[in-house]
Amino acid sequence: MNRDKKIVFMGTPGFAVKSLKATHESGYKVVGVICPPDRPAGRGHKLQACEVKKYALSEGLNILQPEKLKNPEFLSELEALDADLFIIVAFRMLPKEVWSMPKYGTFNIHGSLLPQYRGAAPINWAIINGETKTGVTSFFIDEKIDTGATLLSKGYEIGPNESVGEVHDKLMCLGADLCVETCDAIFNNKIKATAQESSKELKEAPKLFKSNCRIDWSKSTLEIHNHIRGLSPYPVAWFELSDKTAIKVYKASYTLHTHEEEIGTIICTKKEFNIYTLDGYISIDELQVSGKKRMDIRPFLNGISINPELKAC
């Protein structure tokens, strides 16, 4: 297969690295890698490169790190690369001056089956909402967020107990395959762009904040279970005890049964940390108390005594 076309790749986190690697190793000419400027991170606030830059450096690829995507100097550098196609994976919103530049357009790899779950956190929200299927979609960029014409997609069946971290890694690999397949289809004129539907029934995937990561114990047991696994290992579901102690929950299981306990009641043994819900209880298996390290539940319970009067809230 002829893969002599020139490509510019734009991305930031590890999720994007797989797609960049697959594109580079497939034989396409990656003439530029666009990623954010290095940022201070860690205790020493030393400048840290993003994962995409680290990979690009290891392969000797040409790297551009613009602070502003509309900067005339950057736009000139980008145009000088004379790329046939731009690929975007987990990057920021692009101005029209950028995405309209290449002859074959600019496509994005998104972590959902569009048009469902447009937005910043599609994998999280699919699991939080109890979906049993998700996937990855390639689509052409336009003026709005995740609304451009779709190209190709690959589906994935979500296991009933899979965390967002596990699904993320599966979609990362599917996305890399889809990235190369989309390039091949575009360059061989075997692609059909399909306009996305607009409907009130579409589910969105907005940014996650501390407020919408908090566990609502008044919800059903299964809803809480999905909320926890949809936020693990990042950004992590959390709750407070009635004494204001904050607890992050990385892993939990659940039991459905009728009971007369007050919602939020905590029942602890040396082996279990159970919190009663509307129609059962959640068993916390891995947690992190504010100011402490992440722990499995048994060593945690062996080293602490939970006041039986405390409630989850």
- The pLDDT tens digits for 56-106 are 999 999 999 999 999 999 999 999 999 999 999 999 999 999 999 999 999
pTM of structure: 0.94
Mean pLDDT over 219-224 rounds to 97
Q: Kindly list the structural domains of the chain, giving each domain's residue range(s) and its CATH number in brackets, ordered by start.
A: 6-187 (3.40.50.170), 210-302 (3.10.25.10)
Question: What integer pLDDT is reported at residue 98 of this predicted model?
Answer: 98
Q: Is the pLDDT of residue 150 over 80?
A: yes
Question: What integer pLDDT is reported at residue 136 of this predicted model?
Answer: 98
pLDDT grade, residue 197 (50/70/90)?
Answer: confident
3-state SS class at 61: coil
Q: Nearest 5°: CA angle at 36, between 248 and 127?
A: 35
Mean pLDDT over 10-37 rounds to 97
Question: What integer pLDDT is reported at residue 38 of this predicted model?
Answer: 94
Question: What integer pLDDT is reported at residue 303 of this predicted model?
Answer: 76
Query: Do 93 and 148 touch, CB atoms closer than 8 A?
Result: no
Q: Nearest 5°: CA angle at 121, between 220 and 21?
A: 135
Lowest mean pLDDT among 19-23, 232-236, 308-312: 308-312
> What gap in Å lies between CA 282 and CA 88, rounded to an integer?
39
Question: What integer pLDDT is reported at residue 228 of this predicted model?
Answer: 98
Mean per-residue pLDDT of the chain:
95
Mean pLDDT over 178-205 rounds to 93
| CA distances from residue 267 to 145, 245, 249, 255, 300 in whole angstroms, order as listed | 45, 17, 16, 13, 15
pLDDT grade, residue 313 (50/70/90)?
Answer: confident
pLDDT digits (tens, 9 = 90+) for 236-272: 999 999 899 999 999 999 999 999 999 999 999 889 9
pLDDT grade, residue 46 (50/70/90)?
Answer: confident
Question: What integer pLDDT is reported at residue 199 of this predicted model?
Answer: 75
Q: Is the pLDDT of residue 306 over 80?
A: no
Side chain identity at residue 214, one-letter code: R
| CA distances from residue 199 to 144, 196, 204 in whole angstroms, order as listed | 16, 10, 11
Q: Is the pLDDT of residue 309 over 90?
A: no
